[in-house]
Amino acid sequence: MTVNRIECPRCGQDWLLEVRLVYLNVRATLCPECDALWVARAAEADNFEDYGTFMRGHGRVRPEDREEIEIVGPARRA
């Protein structure tokens, strides 16, 4: 059932995921299709950061490594 899931407001191609950026110990929302990332703010089309850019900006050299991210579950509407 996808009724409560949230479609990516940037690309509209996938459902958003709640994730934990492991080494930064930060919870965020991520689109697995376009890599839009929202940290501590609502997922809107104009206030995202690119996942790789965000991670590199926080000292992570290989953000594509599986150990960097933990999928918590699908993002759901409140």
At 40, is the pLDDT very low, low, confident or very high (cuts 50, 70, 90)? Answer: confident
pTM: 0.90
The domain in which residue 47 lies consists of 17-74
Average pLDDT of 17-38?
Answer: 96
Count the domains in the chain: 1
* pLDDT(77) > 90: no
* pLDDT(41) > 90: no
The answer to whether position 32 is within a domain reads yes
The answer to whether position 3 is within a domain reads no
Measure the CA–CA gap between 1 and 61, rounded to whole angstroms.
37
The answer to whether position 53 is within a domain reads yes
What residues contact residue 57 under an 8 Å CB cut-off, 6+ apart?
Answer: none
The string of pLDDT tens digits covering residues 47-73 is: 899 999 999 999 999 999 999 999 999
At 21, is the pLDDT very low, low, confident or very high (cuts 50, 70, 90)? Answer: very high
